[in-house]
Chains A and B, each alone.
Chain A
């Protein structure tokens, strides 16, 4: 839709950037344990867009611009072949798009072009959230300690994604691959979620990959 002010919030030069977990890593050296049951890794500075609108309208544009079919079923996640770009159902009229760093503004512009005068909204939230990957043999136990959502493979197969309560915060929890979970965490809650994960994983041993 026209009459929306597009704004690329990523600087042209290279001023230093700080991820939402910068303070957490600075305050205490991230643990690295041999034989850890759980491994955490932050994927910082990715492009995050929230798409809202009708599924039929958005689907066409997203296919055209991103080459991914808009997941229409609730709580599902679609990825491109390389697994770098993803579109996730958040609500009947809301999707989360995550793309490699720096792609988000061009993507937003191209989507706006493709969508023309339809009623929709695209909001860039790249600075407001970060992605934490959780892997290791005890990753599922740590999730069971943290969210009431059923993370059993029967209930949470690869390709699923949900917005859930996580400890006393909320996160988007998703399973892009067999061997990893992803938490999309709001910036201001990132340190809390990170400290919670370290504490909950303590009995299994935990490493932070950087």
Chain B
């Protein structure tokens, strides 16, 4: 056959590429062309590109070895622009598109002439496992220097430094039967399940569905197998109950048949997703599938043989040779030597021969191979050398010859003289390993089968495997097994299966295979040229042997010591060979050695698909109050409180200069203390409680008493866990005899509601009470300051007289014409009214307050000012001044503890435990810095003796600290060991810079200790 001059290895005919469509691409800066239907790998081979990478550890030149997900070498960096960079792409899985730009992941400065190769050479012919630890760890200080260059040389790909312009998302799916893999078994299983009426998802990681049938020699129903694939896909595509997902890798198999599928929707079209109708398409999608039944039709990975220099470019697995020839019309060389342990691999030699190139020899490890394919090869005049194997490849940047010898696999020695055969390609096959990665994600134990020399998936509820994945390799049996698996899945769901009649496939008589992994060499393994097991991680047979000599026996330990099967490779090509070598060294069998488990992901998944649209402004919900727009328009700075956006402070621009936070907060604080301020307090949690036992329930979950709280009254309550530690606080109002409104902290709202339900549902279901969140229903505005009454009186029909509406009362009426509940409670220490209106009317009420508030210089304030004002009054914030280890007594709040309540309320018993009775517990106090200019650091540690040796005994810490504009100095709240008995003592706060602050322990109430201001 003739060949295209620009693509020397491209056949004139054959394969499923479209020769009328030429696509240009760039690899390592050089321009090439390929055809529509190519992968990057097949296009590189068509162009005769031998070296695609440098190896990770030894920096040896590497070429393409396989044709699918198991490819260890051709891992490339994709993307023409910085924003479009994608690392870790297997060239064998990347469809070619016009303008594709790729470069090798490893190799610096370039793959042809590599500086890192020197490391391998300089450090001697032998880099043992653990080399990096042993060589570079001493002196430790130099590791940073070494590492920089090693990383640069070794390379692991680059993440883009610019924002990704593409969209990614998630899609949740449910199905009766998920079939993974659309080869002969998967297609048969899917069609059976679909015909039975099941909801079916069929996914396949390749560009086209069909799996091994895409390069099969065997006709189905008397026609090429691809025609059966087309017919079957057409039938499936026409059914409503079927979802076909090509270019979709099942990358993780999680609990209870939850499988994640990574669909590459536009990766085959360009660097970034194209637009459709002007709308940008989703580049990658993660399907989160909950399947009632999973059928794994994941096929097999062919095992290469482990012989010396088996990593030189031109060494391929046999099946890949067939795939490149039959599917892509590419012959990856001119002169082939095939080394095999089985009949199946003879296909590679037959395909090579039919492509018109020379098969130098087939080297078969068996004494008397006699299967149908063997006979066909002999009939074509191909030389078959028996009882032998390729023991070593010759060549530097490309195979130049194969050294072949008779071997004794049992004794692991050569059994005859070595013959050297000139060739440029060595294909090898040691048999087939079922792809059990997904099943082992679930934790099921793979089972070793001597008859197929491989592990098959164990059993798991809701999972079946079919075809190659189950160790069944003959095509007629594979299809029958697929039909069977489809039927089983349907029946397991309690439905009746409608299998279809299997198509006609002529069986091929195949001879027995032999077990063959590492090939013996004239020299012992440790001195022979490197025999690679794991090409991606540069693990050699010698490395594994050393590991076993150094005492590593568990396969899990050998894996970690040698890094075999690590990272993105997940042991696809090398794992069984590695285990066989461990078994040989330890004189055990493979099942005795066992296998390591595989983890998700099967192949790398781009971060974009994992993140989906949970990024940028949709990363986390932003909760807004009904007044958010006003805050934004006033230029508020916002603070995140839980998921809420709360105004932090409202900086004003004075004389063209924007206030700092310090200036704004000082102004806001003084406005509240001297005139009137307003706070949007809508974020506080609010729980409506109804029922005849509501009062009893409150008495059990709060530390204080609720029996006598009358309608119209409000009480502050502390809520503890049963360990006696404070968990939340807030006010609860009695709305009616059987009706209460509880408030919680902003962050505690959901947790407190769940807490109430927990106790009601699990311990006290006999109490008649219901709880419902009304947090979002009400908007809450706190009007506070000496002028609060005057302002509110202008727009309400509620009698605000100090006797008619006392501190800790609530009243209902209208505010600005809107029905409102007004609560006279105070978190600032000033005269305060908290106005609650239905949130839809909040903006109207708020704006009306400002219309009337102008003459009082009504000042909006944010959370920072709120914090300063409450701290000046010694009022705690749960979660800031407490941390889950603070009791109400530690806070000095004995007044809020109903020791004599009849029911043993939550937390009561714990308050009399020996630990909670200790007198040296950290107790809540105020701190007054000796230097009034000092604002102590929150979190700063407190010591009693600053002259003690380091490490000092830490006796407390600062929980809140601010500058008080009213006091004109810094002040703090803190917890100090035995603090309640230490009033007036001096404590010390050593800082990182060596300075030591001094402070006096004082009452935590800094302003208006008698509480007169809020009672006016």
Write the residues of chain A forming the contact surface with B, with a CB cutoff of 8 angstroms. Answer: 1-5, 7-13, 15-20, 22-23, 26-27, 35, 44-45, 50, 52-53, 93, 119-129, 141, 144-145, 147-150, 152, 154-155, 167-169, 186-189, 191-192, 195-196, 199-200, 202-205
Q: Are A15 and B841 in contact (CB under 8 A)?
A: yes
CB B995 to nearest CB in A, in angstroms, measures 44
CB A196 to nearest CB in B, in angstroms, measures 6
Asked if B756 CB lies within 8 Å of chain A CBs, one says no
Q: Using A3-B738, A187-B839, A203-B281 as known contacts, say yes or no to A124 and B199 having CB atoms under 8 A apart.
A: no
Q: Which A residues touch B692, using CB under 8 A?
A: 1, 3, 119
Within 8 A of A (CB), among B610-642: 613-614, 617-618, 620-626, 628-629
**Contact with B622, one of A16, A192, A204 (Cβ below 8 angstroms):** A192
A189 CA / B775 CA spacing, docked (Å): 12
A119 CA / B774 CA spacing, docked (Å): 20
Identify the closest chain B residue to A147 (Cβ).
B172
Asked if B837 CB lies within 8 Å of chain A CBs, one says yes
Contacts A15-B816, A126-B838, A127-B777 known; 5 new A-B pairs at CB < 8 A = A4-B739, A18-B842, A23-B624, A35-B277, A202-B167
A149 CA / B839 CA spacing, docked (Å): 30
Q: Using A145-B171, A195-B618 as known contacts, say yes or no to A5 and B739 having CB atoms under 8 A apart.
A: yes
Q: Are B199 and A123 in contact (CB under 8 A)?
A: no
Q: Which B residues touch A169, using CB under 8 A?
A: 621
Q: Are A196 and B776 in contact (CB under 8 A)?
A: no
List the one stretch of B111-119, B321-329, B817-825 in contact with chain A: B817-825
A98 CA / B691 CA spacing, docked (Å): 23
Q: Are A124 and B172 in contact (CB under 8 A)?
A: no
Asked if B814 CB lies within 8 Å of chain A CBs, one says yes
Q: Which B residues touch A144, using CB under 8 A?
A: 171-173
Q: Are A187 and B735 in contact (CB under 8 A)?
A: no
Asked if B549 CB lies within 8 Å of chain A CBs, one says no
A186 CA / B683 CA spacing, docked (Å): 13
Asked if B690 CB lies within 8 Å of chain A CBs, one says yes
Asked if B151 CB lies within 8 Å of chain A CBs, one says no
Interface hub of A2, A127, A205 (most chain B Cβ within 10 A):
A127
Q: Which A residues touch B618, using CB under 8 A?
A: 167, 192, 195-196, 199
Q: Are A203 and B735 in contact (CB under 8 A)?
A: no
A3 CA / B841 CA spacing, docked (Å): 27
Q: Are A8 and B778 in contact (CB under 8 A)?
A: no
Asked if B772 CB lies within 8 Å of chain A CBs, one says yes
Q: Using A18-B626, A168-B614, A202-B279 as known contacts, say yes or no to A10 and B174 having CB atoms under 8 A apart.
A: no
Within 8 A of A (CB), among B802-816: 812, 814, 816
13 A-B pairs whose Cβ atoms sit less than 8 Å apart in the complex: A4-B736, A7-B821, A11-B814, A15-B841, A15-B845, A18-B841, A23-B624, A119-B691, A119-B768, A125-B776, A192-B618, A196-B613, A202-B279
CB A12 to nearest CB in B, in angstroms, measures 8
Q: Which B residues touch A126, using CB under 8 A?
A: 777, 838, 840
A-contact 0/1 string along B396-439, CB 8 Å cutoff: 00000000000000000000000000000000000000000000
A-contact 0/1 string along B588-626, CB 8 Å cutoff: 000000000000000000000000011001101111111
Identify the closest chain B residue to A202 (Cβ).
B279
A52 CA / B626 CA spacing, docked (Å): 27
Q: Which A residues touch B843, using CB under 8 A?
A: 16, 18, 22
Q: Which B residues touch A195, using CB under 8 A?
A: 617-618
Within 8 A of A (CB), among B722-754: 735-739
Which 6 A-B pairs rank lowest in CB-CB distance, beginning with the nearest?
A128-B776, A128-B777, A3-B737, A127-B838, A121-B690, A9-B838
Q: Are A9 and B819 in contact (CB under 8 A)?
A: yes
Q: Which A residues touch B736, using CB under 8 A?
A: 3-5
CB B167 to nearest CB in A, in angstroms, measures 7
Q: Are B774 and A125 in contact (CB under 8 A)?
A: yes
Q: Using A26-B629, A191-B624 as known contacts, say yes or no to A125 and B841 having CB atoms under 8 A apart.
A: no
Asked if B688 CB lies within 8 Å of chain A CBs, one says yes
Identify the closest chain B residue to A53 (Cβ).
B770
Q: Which A residues touch B817, using CB under 8 A?
A: 11-13, 15
A-contact 0/1 string along B777-807, CB 8 Å cutoff: 1110000000000000000000000000000
Q: Using A195-B617, A199-B618 as known contacts, say yes or no to A188 and B776 having CB atoms under 8 A apart.
A: yes
CB A22 to nearest CB in B, in angstroms, measures 7
Identify the closest chain B residue to A22 (Cβ).
B629
**Contact with A15, one of B276, B288, B821, B844 (Cβ below 8 angstroms):** B844
Q: Which A residues touch B358, using CB under 8 A?
A: none
A40 CA / B787 CA spacing, docked (Å): 46
Identify the closest chain B residue to A201 (Cβ).
B279
Q: Which A residues touch B927, using CB under 8 A?
A: none
CB B417 to nearest CB in A, in angstroms, measures 66
Asked if B362 CB lies within 8 Å of chain A CBs, one says no
Identify the closest chain A residue to B622 (Cβ).
A192
Q: Which A residues touch B644, using CB under 8 A?
A: 188
Q: Which B residues touch A11, using CB under 8 A?
A: 814, 817-819, 841
Within 8 A of A (CB), among B121-180: 167, 169-174
Within 8 A of A (CB), among B651-702: 683, 688, 690-692
Q: Using A1-B691, A11-B818, A188-B624 as known contacts, say yes or no to A200 and B279 having CB atoms under 8 A apart.
A: no
Interface hub of B618, B770, B844 (most chain A Cβ within 10 A):
B770
Asked if B711 CB lies within 8 Å of chain A CBs, one says yes
Identify the closest chain A residue to B741 (Cβ).
A5
Q: Are B838 and A205 in contact (CB under 8 A)?
A: no
A17 CA / B683 CA spacing, docked (Å): 19
Q: Are A125 and B739 in contact (CB under 8 A)?
A: no
CB B466 to nearest CB in A, in angstroms, measures 25
Q: Are A202 and B772 in contact (CB under 8 A)?
A: no
Q: Which A residues touch B620, using CB under 8 A?
A: 168
**Contact with B776, one of A35, A147, A187 (Cβ below 8 angstroms):** A187
Q: Which B residues touch A52, using CB under 8 A?
A: 770, 772
A121 CA / B840 CA spacing, docked (Å): 23
A-contact 0/1 string along B264-299, CB 8 Å cutoff: 000000000000110111100000101000000000
Identify the closest chain B residue to A35 (Cβ).
B277
Q: Are A5 and B735 in contact (CB under 8 A)?
A: yes
CB B919 to nearest CB in A, in angstroms, measures 45
Q: Are B625 and A188 in contact (CB under 8 A)?
A: yes
CB B744 to nearest CB in A, in angstroms, measures 15
Q: Which B residues touch A35, using CB under 8 A?
A: 277
Q: Are A205 and B622 in contact (CB under 8 A)?
A: no
A26 CA / B644 CA spacing, docked (Å): 19
Q: Are B167 and A203 in contact (CB under 8 A)?
A: yes
Q: Are A199 and B613 in contact (CB under 8 A)?
A: yes
Q: Are A19 and B281 in contact (CB under 8 A)?
A: no
Q: Which B residues touch A20, using CB under 8 A?
A: 626, 839-840
Q: Using A23-B628, A152-B199 as known contacts, say yes or no to A123 and B818 having CB atoms under 8 A apart.
A: no
Q: Which B residues touch A53, using CB under 8 A?
A: 770
Identify the closest chain B residue to A13 (Cβ).
B817
A195 CA / B276 CA spacing, docked (Å): 21
CB B267 to nearest CB in A, in angstroms, measures 16
Identify the closest chain A residue to B683 (Cβ).
A188
Q: Are A9 and B837 in contact (CB under 8 A)?
A: yes
Interface hub of B276, B644, B840, B841 (most chain A Cβ within 10 A):
B840
Q: Are A5 and B711 in contact (CB under 8 A)?
A: yes
CB B679 to nearest CB in A, in angstroms, measures 17
